[in-house]
Amino acid sequence: MGVGGKFWELLKPYARLEGFDFLRDKKVAIDLSFWIVQHEAAIKNRARNPHLRLTFFRTINLFSKFGAFPVFVLDGTPSPLKSQARIARFFRFSGIDTSTSTGVKEGVSKERNSAFSKCVDDCVELLELLGMPVLKANGEAEALCAQLNKDGHVDACITADSDAFLFGATCVIKCLRPNSKEPFECYNMSDIEAGLGLKRKHLIAISLLVGNDHDLNGVQGIGLDKALRFVQRFSEDEILNRLYAIGKGDVLLFQDGVTYVDDVIPCSDESSPKPRQSHCSFCGHPGSKAAHFKFSCEYCVTANNVGCLKKSQRFQCNCLSCDKVRKEKDQKKHENWWIKVCSMITMEPNFPNDEIIEMYMGNNHGMFPEDGSLLAWGDPKTELVVDFLAYHQSWQRSFVRQRILPMLSTMYLREMARNPNKTLLVGQYEFHSIQRVKIRYGHQSYVVKWKKAISGELSCAVPVEWSNIQEEECIEVDDGPVDLLDESIDPQIHVDGYWILTDETPALVCSAFPEEVVKFIQKKELKEMKRRKTSMIRSEGSSEMSELSKPQGVQLSITEFYRSTKIQSQAKPGEDLEKLSYNLGDESSKQKRKVSGPNLSKAVRRRLLFG
């Protein structure tokens, strides 16, 4: 949830739309609990162990499709305030009266329920087998994600909890859709500050006023719009101090952007305010109607300076006296609004809550070295992953190997870019060539051909299961992908078993095999030149043939056939055939018009036409 009051809708106009390669070679912190909770209820009746399925496919897609380095963060022990808020939310949505229930009054358990904890443990075991770093927070997972982002250990956070900004996150990604041409939304704290003028402490103040995960109610009667208008009056350094002062009963008033305490507003003019000047009821300007009837006032311009113009229905006088009255009314209206808001805050007991502020402003949400040594990505234990998913998901072993192959090929290309001595993919396949360019969902990739090594020594050194990946039939599971991020990547496997095809990122292939990429581009350009040259020759040849032998390409009717043979037989040497055909054609058309009457028989018309 995070901050209440539709907080994401407030930030949405300031989100950046990033493309597919935004996370390429970047570290991202992921709230694992959010992944599990978000989709478990939606697909629990359609898939076997949905938490494992989602974690497996999402991790592979993030690592291979997006090229990111994911860091998974687990929830620790929730604070007592969070536990109470969680129980209160349960009672609220269940329709149970909390006044009669003893669960909230007596306290609640701080630990997760056993079923959810079992799901988290299964996902952690799978992630560790895949070689992904997993960290555990002291409290909220989004708090540790934000701390990693703020300290520069990761480049972004993937979570839907908006209070990640309150914990100090600078870049938050709410949702990813890789199998779509549409870009995803990325929220940067710098853009929020530039658009709304809000910094971290401002957001904390808004959460205290409208409610958050640790205090669902906030201040009664204050919504998001009212809270935004309130906090924008103060700077970041004084906003929290002002909340403390108002909570103690000090009512603050504003005049021309200056704050005053104890309901005292100094008057800018020591003399008593002048009464409002009388106005004409006809034109609405200062003066009397009798005077304006004879001569027009200085505000009205009429012909011959006789009489004023009648005021419109929504007339508003702009003289100094009226302008001053309007300013006084606006100031009084603002003062009444301000006093009302301050009264609402004063009536709230124990406001603001020091424990919530300290939790948001703290910087000790997890135990890890400052050098980031725990953020290390290892090689996946492939055979253990195959055994794990075959046991928990009842998937065929060949199916698991096919789905994990894109991750292994991505790791292989990264290793080749750093150390070109590594030669074989999964110990069996070597890079052969780039087949073609593939565009899917608007994203470009290279189709890479991997050829199986012929050397018997190399093939015997690897498990025999990988050599059978192409021989076993790929059996699809019944639980199809529910979320776009969960769609699996299907490597193309040739039936003869000697080579495979995978989709790889062009930049990654170029860094690993630059010579092969240059060769592929040159070959592609040469093929394109040949295609263009052939098409030009064909177009020129077809145009010449159409000019020289235009009638040969169309089957002539019997009338046109006899007419063309008659022209050739009657033509004299040196006579223009085109002119003769024109004359004969003209005569035949005239004759045809003459003999085409309905009174002549068909035989007579034919003899007249063909002589």
- For residue range 14-44, what is the model confidence (pLDDT) as tens digits? 999 888 789 999 999 999 988 887 665 555 5
Q: The domain that contains 107 carries what CATH number?
A: 3.40.50.1010
| Residue 154 within a domain | yes
Indicate the residue type of 356: I
Residue 424 pLDDT level (bands cut at 50, 70, 90):
confident
pLDDT per residue as tens digits for the range 242-259: 999 888 877 655 444 444
Q: CA-to-CA distance for 39 and 121, rounded, in angstroms? A: 17
* Omega within 30 of 0 (cis) for the link into 352: yes
Given a contact cutoff of 8 angstroms between Cβ atoms, the answer to whether 108 and 84 are in contact is yes
Residue at which a domain ends, from 156, 173, 197: 197
Per the confidence metrics, is the pTM higher than 0.85? no
218 Cβ contact list (under 8 Å, min separation 6): 4, 5, 207, 208, 209, 210, 211, 212
Domain boundary among 139, 168, 197: 197
SS3 call for 240? helix
pLDDT band at 471 (very low <50, low <70, confident <90, very high): very low
Is 118 found in the same domain as 11?
yes
Q: Are residues 79 and 173 in the same domain?
A: yes
> Average pLDDT of 170-176?
88
What is the mean predicted confidence (pLDDT) over 269-279? Answer: 58
Cβ-proximal residues to 587 (8 Å cutoff; 6+ apart), any chain: none
- Are residues 327 and 430 part of one domain? no
- Residue from 529, 414, 545, 394 nearest 475 by CA: 394
Whether residue 321 is found in the same domain as residue 431: no
Could you identify the residue written with the tokens 């003893």? 102
**Which of 516, 537, 558 represents a domain boundary (last residue)?**
537
- Residue 305 located in a structural domain: yes
Establish if 414 belongs to a structural domain.
yes
Nearest alpha carbon to residue 22 among 70, 68, 72, 59: 68
Taken in order 160, 166, 167, 169, is the CA torsion positive or negative?
A: positive
Q: Is residue 265 over pLDDT 60?
A: no
Q: Determine the pLDDT at residue 560.
A: 67
Confidence band for 485, pLDDT divided at 50, 70 and 90: very low
Both 185 and 302 in a single domain?
Answer: no
Residue 231 lies in a domain: no
* Residues 163 and 310 both lie in one domain: no
Residues 175 and 104 occupy one common structural domain: yes
What is the per-residue pLDDT for 103? 46
Residue 419 lies in a domain: yes
Residues 310 and 449 in one domain: no
The confidence score (pLDDT) of residue 565 equals 62
Predicted pLDDT at 312: 78
Q: Which of 425, 407, 394, 557 is nearest to 500 (CA)?
A: 425
Query: Comparing C-alpha atoms, which of 397, 403, 431, 585 is closest to residue 499?
Result: 431
Query: Does residue 273 sit in helix, strand or coil?
Result: coil
pLDDT tens-place string over residues 331-384: 888 888 888 888 899 888 888 889 899 999 988 888 766 666 678 899 999 999
Residue 610 scores a pLDDT above 80: no
Residue 483 has pLDDT above 70, yes or no: no
167-183 CB burial, b ≥16 within 10 A, e <16: bbbbbbbbebebeeeee
Indicate the number of domains in the chain: 3
User: For the chain, what percent of residues have pLDDT higher than 90?
Assistant: 26
Res 329: pLDDT: 85
Residues 169 and 304 in one domain: no
Concatenated DSSP letters of 49-80: SHHHHHHHHHHHIIIIIS--EEEEEE--PPPH
Domain that holds residue 333: 289-345
Structure confidence by residue, pLDDT tens digits, 97-125: 544 444 444 444 444 577 888 889 999 99
HSE of 221, CA atoms in CB hemisphere, 13 A = 10
Asked if 328 and 191 sit in the same domain, the reply is no
- Measured CA to CA, the distance from residue 228 to residue 298 in angstroms comes to 44
Average pLDDT, the chain: 76
Q: Do 199 and 236 touch, CB atoms closer than 8 A?
A: yes
- Report the percent of the chain where pLDDT is more than 70: 69
Dist CA 410 CA 22 (whole Å): 17
The tens digit of pLDDT for each residue in 487-526 reads 544 454 443 457 888 888 898 999 999 999 999 999 989 9
Residues 109 and 180 in one domain: yes
Residue 438 and residue 317 in one domain: no
Residue 161: CA count within 13 A, CB half-sphere: 26
How do residues 383-413 score in pLDDT, each as one tens digit? 999 999 999 999 999 899 988 999 999 999 9
Number of neighbours of residue 393 by Cβ within 10 angstroms? 18
For residue 203, pLDDT over 90 is answered with yes
